[in-house]
Amino acid sequence: MLWVALSWVWVNPEWLYGYITEKKGNAVIIDVRTPGEHMNGYIPGTDLNIPHYELAKRISEIKADKEKDTVIVYCRSGRRSTIAAKTLERFGFKNVFNLNGGIKAWIRQGYGLTRDEKGGER
């Protein structure tokens, strides 16, 4: 299910899970939590970890067409990703999706996280 809020869109965990597992698109998925939170586990398919408070100064790291490509953001509960969505809009991104309820909602739905080899998941 999708909810429109301003010009960015809320998505629920079921929608995001389907998007990722069915490879429905080529979105850039950004975890806007801190690096420490990210190391403890993140949503599979995440492309970048840029804390919401660093997003404006690291905007060039997002390799997406501002007019055409989709950028999906998430955090722990949805508060920081809302700030991130607004930041992305301010920088001209037209297709911004925000995970409603954040990673907490993702976990409540029974979806797993991934970790990298350095102690975090990946």
51 and 83 Cβ atoms separated by less than 8 Å: no
Among residues 117, 102, 96, the alpha carbon closest in space to that of 32 is found at 102
Contact 38, 49 (CB under 8 A): yes
Active site residues: 75
CB under 8 Å, gap of 24 or more: what pairs does 107-110 form? 108/13, 109/13, 109/14, 109/17
